[in-house]
């Protein structure tokens, strides 16, 4: 029987859509019947298990799944023997401490002797230990932000992204304990055959992520600015330069990284570039 790589993804919740979208962008199509907890990819040696998020680290440690897509926050919290091998750039959030908005905050010592509600007791305990603080941790599995309002705790430690849940519950964020995004984790003793398939998958994932982080640009440049524009636009190897039908002008094609996109565009304009077109890249094979 053909060897398959076993991947665990969240059955439903915040990571489910992004995880399946990533596999699709890697051109992997999965038979995805409703209520089906195990599915095979049609065109790649991959078997997908749909599981409860919080159970996934254990399944990967035990080798039930070779790899999984989970948040880094869960990797830190569960303390299982699993390895983060690729960050994925979605489901970005942070684990933060928050207190009632009118309370005076004077630094981490505020939490000494307080009662804190959280779904992340291990990560919170690490933060308290690092800061030499003693606090009572009350573990709850959800709706953590309600705790101070119902007299359950003095403060909370929970995930924050937009901050709107904190705001709606009259809380303010005062310390960031860790930053997180979705990532691929791997079993530490993955078999060589599964590892070969994983390397193929990672090659595709990296191409998809690189494409997302870069844009293809085309622009017209007067000949006197050409050397300067080529310096600004290094491209993957170097930019493509083609003469225009109109004398004294060239068309330049290149790739710009999302991080300094507007900065580069400003410099191009300052150097006389015109007709700048920006096109998304579907895959970028490095």
Ligand X SMILES: O=P(O)(O)OC[C@H]1O[C@H](OP(=O)(O)OP(=O)(O)O)[C@H](O)[C@@H]1O
Ligand Y SMILES: Nc1ncnc2c1ncn2[C@@H]1O[C@H](COP(=O)(O)OP(=O)(O)OP(=O)(O)O)[C@@H](O)[C@H]1O
**Which residues contact ligand Y (rule: CB under 6 A)?**
13-15, 52-54, 71, 73-74, 91, 93, 159, 161, 180
Q: How many CB atoms lie within 10 A of CB 236?
A: 12
Residue 160 binding ligand X, by CB under 6 A: yes
Indicate if the alpha-carbon torsion angle 102, 103, 106, 110 is positive or negative: negative
CB of 142 to ligand X, least distance (A): 4
**Number of residues in contact with ligand X under rule CB under 6 A:** 12
Nearer to ligand Y, 73 or 214 (CB): 73
Q: Which does 15 bind (CB under 5 to 8 A by kind): ligand Y, ligand X, none?
A: ligand Y
The reply to whether 145 sits near ligand X by the rule CB under 6 A is: yes
Query: Which H/E stretch holds residue 265?
Result: helix 261-270
Q: Given the rule CB under 6 A, which of 66-74, 132-140, 141-149, 271-279 is the region that contacts ligand X? A: 141-149
How far, in Å, are 52, 110, 127, 128, 173 from residue 133 at the CA level? 33, 9, 8, 5, 18
Structure tokens at 131: 């800061």
- How distant, in Å, are the alpha carbons of 46, 85, 192, 194, 202 from that of 199? 12, 11, 10, 9, 5
**Contact between 70 and ligand X (CB under 6 A)?**
no
| Rounded Cα–Cα distance for residues 5 and 27 (Å) | 16
Give the integer Cα–Cα distance in Å for 282 and 204.
12
Question: What are the beta bridge partners of residue 68?
Answer: 8, 185
Q: Whole-number minimum distance, CB 127 to ligand Y, in Å?
A: 17
Q: Which is nearer to ligand Y, 73 or 186 (CB)?
A: 73
86 vs 119, which CB is nearer to ligand X?
A: 119
User: Residue with CB nearest ligand Y?
Assistant: 71
Contacting positions for ligand X (CB under 6 A): 14, 142-143, 145, 158-165
């Amino acid at each position: 029987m053909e060897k398959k790589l076993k991947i665990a993804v969240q059955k439903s919740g915040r990571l489910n859509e992004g995880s399946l979208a990533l596999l699709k962008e890697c051109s992997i199509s999965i038979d995805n019947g409703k209520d089906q907890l195990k599915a095979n990819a049609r065109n790649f040696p991959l078997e997908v298990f749909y599981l409860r998020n919080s159970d996934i680290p254990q399944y990967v440690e035990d080798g039930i799944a070779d790899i999984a897509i989970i948040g880094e926050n869960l990797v830190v919290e569960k303390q299982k023997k699993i390895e983060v091998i690729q960050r994925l750039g979605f489901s970005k959030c942070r684990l933060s401490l928050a207190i009632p908005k009118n309370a005076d905050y004077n630094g981490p010592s505020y939490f000494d002797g307080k009662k804190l509600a959280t779904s992340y007791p291990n990560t919170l305990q690490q933060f308290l230990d690092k800061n030499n603080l003693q606090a009572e941790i009350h573990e709850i599995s959800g709706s953590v932000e309600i705790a101070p309002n119902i007299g359950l705790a003095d403060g909370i430690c929970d995930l924050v992204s937009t901050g709107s849940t904190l705001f709606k519950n009259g809380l303010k964020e005062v310390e960031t304990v860790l930053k997180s995004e979705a990532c691929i984790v791997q079993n530490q003793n993955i078999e060589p055959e599964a590892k070969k398939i994983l390397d193929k998958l990672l090659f595709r994932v990296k191409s998809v992520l690189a494409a997302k982080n870069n844009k293809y640009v085309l622009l017209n440049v007067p000949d006197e600015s050409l050397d300067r524009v080529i310096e600004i636009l290094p491209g993957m190897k170097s930019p493509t330069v083609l003469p225009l039908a109109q004398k004294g002008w060239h068309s330049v094609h290149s790739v710009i990284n999302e991080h300094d996109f507007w900065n580069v565009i400003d410099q191009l304009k300052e150097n006389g570039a015109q007709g700048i077109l920006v096109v998304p890249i579907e895959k970028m094979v490095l």
